Amino acid sequence: MLSVSAINKSFGGVHALAGAALECSRGEVVGLIGPNGAGKSTLVNVISGFLVPDAGQVRLEGVLLQGRSPQQISASGIARTFQNLRIFRDLTVRQNIEVAALRAGQLHPGRAPVMRLDDLLEMFGLADRADEPAGDLPYGTRRWMEMARAMATGPRILLLDEPAAGLNDEETERLHQVITLLRDKSGIGVVVIDHDLTFINNVCNRLFVMDQGRLIASGTPADVWRDPTVIEVYVGPGNRADTKSAVEQGG
């Protein structure tokens, strides 16, 4: 299990995280949601070692992780994707994924990959484009490749930061199917950050809701969307109408 508790992180006088918390077991998909600026990506950056927290604990299977480098945390079994895609544009799709797999083998030799390269290419719809330069791919296809690269490292926990951003309805539904298949086939735990609340409601077993750096609610989607604090955050003055429809769907 990934267990994140009482995380604080400040930038100057700004408290980006104040007691933030999250849990994810292997074999489940959890959503991390909240308005823009709630601290979601900051929390993922702490979990993955790209930021050092001021206080709190990050543990995987009981082992304390904070203070370790991103490479060490990857070696422990946590993989992630990024809002701003990080790819090797001049390498082919296959080579991008191979680099991730080779790097993972260097970090934790002897650990078998969760899935074979050809299986990853097939699962993420990349088999027909395996030998194309990654820089020539459309944006949505690059997102699939980044997820395939993350899976090539053999993670126990996969962190997906805005995976549905820029995807159309058909691609978002396929993303839902792929995440569910990954969970069922490999037994990994998946943490998803996204603003598409319909997608989040459909794919996640549990939700963690943040606002202003704090955890304000957690539970099943049905329970969370009945929480008065969550309703106020999402459908209060100034919030978008589509979040209201998602709240109504969740309730």
Return d(Cα 82, Cα 147) in angstroms, integer: 10
Phi and psi at 189, nearest 5°, equal -95, 145
Return d(Cα 48, Cα 135) in angstroms, integer: 26
Structure tokens, 59? 């543990």
pLDDT of 243 strictly over 80:
no
Q: What is the pLDDT of residues 43-65, one digit of tens each?
A: 999 999 999 999 999 999 999 99
Nearest CA to 192 out of 158, 237, 227 is that of 158
* The CA-based dihedral angle spanning residues 8, 11, 15, 20, taken in that order and rounded to the nearest 10 degrees: -30
Arithmetic mean of pLDDT over the chain: 86
The residues spanned by each domain of the chain are: 2-77+155-250, 87-154
For position 240, what pLDDT does the model report? 46
For position 221, what pLDDT does the model report? 93
Structure tokens, 182? 């990954």
Position 209: which residue type? Answer: V
Phi and psi at 209, nearest 5°, equal -110, 130
Q: What is the pLDDT of residues 212-234, one digit of tens each?
A: 999 999 999 999 999 999 988 88
Q: What is the pLDDT of residues 113-167, one digit of tens each?
A: 556 888 889 989 999 999 999 888 888 888 889 889 888 888 899 999 988 887 8
Q: What average pLDDT does range 88-115 have in this prediction?
A: 73
pTM: 0.86
H/E element holding 5?
A: strand 2-11
- Give the dihedral sign, CA 105/110/111/115: positive
**DSSP code of 164?**
T
Phi-psi region of 181 (alpha: psi -120 to 50; beta: other; left: phi over 0): alpha
**Domain 2-77+155-250: assigned CATH number:** 3.40.50.300
Neighbours of 242 (CB within 10 A): 12
Q: In what order do the strands lie in the sheet with 63-64?
A: 14-24, 2-11, 55-60, 63-64
Nearest CA to 217 out of 203, 206, 204, 202 is that of 206
Please, which pLDDT band fits residue 27 given cuts at 50, 70 and 90?
A: very high
Please, which pLDDT band fits residue 241 given cuts at 50, 70 and 90?
A: very low
Residue 44, helix vs strand vs coil: helix
Return d(Cα 208, Cα 188) in angstroms, integer: 18
